[in-house]
A = this chain, B = another copy of it.
Amino acid sequence: MKAVDYTKVEAEEVNVEGAKNATIRWLISQKDNAPNFALRMFDVQPGGFTPYHSHDWEHEVFVLEGSGMLITEKEEIPFGKYGVIYVDPNMKHQFRNTEDTVLRFLCIVPHQKTAKKNKKNKTMNPFAGGLVNNC
């Protein structure tokens, strides 16, 4: 288990091509023995952005602070604090800060591709389908 303030997790520069003025914190990852997915925090400074790209895994995003624009192949969607964004696998996307304050958001990614055989499996977690509400 792990219980820390986010400031205890080091912010690293997002140093890939197509990114500008962005940092990432791996809040929970495989290093913590998390078996399925990683929780990361991004800070994008004014004028900054993540790369415009696609990949075969999804993003689940929650906006903590600031405002920005989600760029996709089909549209540009503004978002703000407490915005919820789901990006499908293989969808082109970019997160841009459009304001003069920091844009901070959480982004969750799976560790692995979804195994095809799992698609036919029943849901093992009775809470996952929203049938039982719990934590």
A102 interfacial by beta-carbon distance below 8 Å: no
A99 interfacial by beta-carbon distance below 8 Å: no
The reply to whether B134 and A16 contact each other, CB–CB distance below 8 Å, is: yes
Contacts of A64 in B (CB 8 A): 64
- How far is B38's CA from A132's CA once the two chains are assembled, in angstroms? 13
The reply to whether B130 and A16 contact each other, CB–CB distance below 8 Å, is: no
Contacts of A32 in B (CB 8 A): 86
Q: B-contacting residues of A (Cβ < 8 Å)?
A: 1-7, 9, 12-16, 19, 22, 24, 26-40, 42, 50-51, 53, 55, 57-60, 62, 64, 70, 72, 77, 79-80, 82-89, 91, 95, 106-115, 118, 121, 123-125, 127-130, 132-135
